[in-house]
Amino acid sequence: MGTSATANGGVSFWYSTIGLPTPRRPLDGSAEADVCIVGGGYTGLWTAYYLKKADPGLRVTVLEQRFCGYGASGRNGGWLYNGFAGRGVFARRYGKPGAIAMQQAMNGAVDEVIAVCAAEGIDADIAKGGMMEVARTPAQLERLGAYVENEHSFGETGLELLSPTEAAARIDVDGALGACWTPHGARIQPAKLVVGLARVVESMGVSVYESTTVTEIVPGSSSALAKAVTDRGTVSARFVLRATEGFTSALRGERRSWLPMNSSMVVTEPLPAAFWEAVGWSGRETLGDMAHAYMYAQRTADDRIALGGRGVPYRFGSRTDNDGLTAQKTVDQLRAILEDFFPAAAGARIDHAWSGVLGVPRDWCSTVELDPATGLGLAGGYVGSGVTTTNLAARTLRDLVLGEDTGLTALPWVNHRVRRWEPEPLRWIGVHGMYAAYHAADRQERGGRATTSPIARVADVVSGRH
């Protein structure tokens, strides 16, 4: 195991393995379309894909300020799984049957992504090994049991509670007191998926313009088309769909709509066969934990561990990062988590570190919206669970644009409205205070507390997460 310098930024490790995509042409003057999609990540590309599949004659345009997959779609942890943001809120506000229907739709979306990739020849290193979450303190173990019971109440019968021995047989995480596993999860290589999707939609006739910054989205009316105003011209369309996730705050009037939350990752060098023989992980499960400031990880196709967590959660004024550059303090924190979970990886080189932003609504609920009167729509606020949720959102937007009443358009996240975030400096203080509380709660629980720290319970209520 080597000691060479860690690559930092460069968008993500995922791109370092395949190379950054060759830039597509920017918009050249004003244009018109039936549907204009702002944002060339998973949401935008999946939406373009399903719209063209449903109606090949539709004129669909995608506008992207850098290149397709520059944001979270090319930087995430590669968790194609069935979790989505806001299920508890949806159940309380709209009734449990609707939340259960949404959960079932998410379960199906995992397999939908896998099926489309197979049909379209997108090789994204997909391995459907399910998702495993471990508990490593008594308080986490208590939460794990409550979590599994709650999941079963939403019809998640495939979720299994694992004893320490059963958990170690899957992935031998040091100090694990128990775990759970669900089959509704797969590991992917995120950049390969988004690059493949962009190739497919362009081959279907979608106009994809990169290096084109949308500054404002203007509603339409009965006598005027909606507009996406860019630095290179204006696209007018019957529908303009916002798919900008963590970069939404840069649009005029959207500074307080969704908060751009930072998440950071590191990836080790390829680990030797002896490590994997000791640790297992042969099923390629995605791995998480029950901590308040949780981690997420995967075993990559070339036998590395890619591991992420929050680091610096938020930049003042909703600023976003510069090509994924990550503070050394965050890299050190993530290495410490890696070595804590897997002591045998203590000598492993960290080959790459990077960061990205995800979109967080004030109530932590993902949403899909479309207003036929103005022609404006949106999808996002995935709070880090977007790899699968984007696919479901895109199929829902397709049905809304085409004016079809379907099971998808009846799901409770459709046209769910949330209040705006507080102005600065309140949101900076609030977010940093929330994560300081979660870290303090985790430290308290590692000290032997048997039940969930009251600090975390208060933080959950104040943040709006529960």
Nearest to 190 by CA among 312, 360, 308: 308
Q: What is the pLDDT of residue 397?
A: 98
Q: Which residues of the chain have a pLDDT value below 70? A: 1-4, 311-321, 435, 459, 462-466
Q: What is the pLDDT of residue 453?
A: 77
Nearest to 437 by CA among 464, 457, 466: 457
What is the 8-class DSSP label of residue 296?
Answer: E
DSSP strand pairing (376-380 vs 233-242): parallel
Alpha-carbon gap, residue 114 to 126, rounded angstroms: 7
Q: What is the pLDDT of residue 253?
A: 83
Nearest to 232 by CA among 63, 439, 447: 63
Alpha-carbon gap, residue 105 to 76, rounded angstroms: 22
> 56 preceded by cis ω (within 30°)?
no
CA–CA distance from 10 to each of 15, 194, 260, 354 (Å)?
8, 17, 19, 7
One DSSP character per residue, 39-77 reads --SHHHHHHHHHHHHH-TT--EEEE-SS-TT-SGGGTS-
The crossing angle, in degrees rounded to 10, of helices 386-401 and 96-120 is 100
Contacts of 58 (CB under 8 A, 6+ apart): 34, 35, 51, 52
In tens, the pLDDT along 419-449 reads: 887 887 877 787 777 767 777 887 777 877 8
Q: What share of the chain is helix, strand, coil (3-state, %, to 5)?
A: 35, 25, 40
DSSP strand pairing (79-81 vs 259-268): unpaired
Q: What is the pLDDT of residue 449?
A: 80
Q: What is the pLDDT of residue 458?
A: 72
Alpha-carbon gap, residue 439 to 411, rounded angstroms: 34
CA–CA distance from 81 to each of 77, 389, 392, 414, 446 (Å)?
11, 9, 12, 20, 28
Q: What is the pLDDT of residue 318?
A: 58
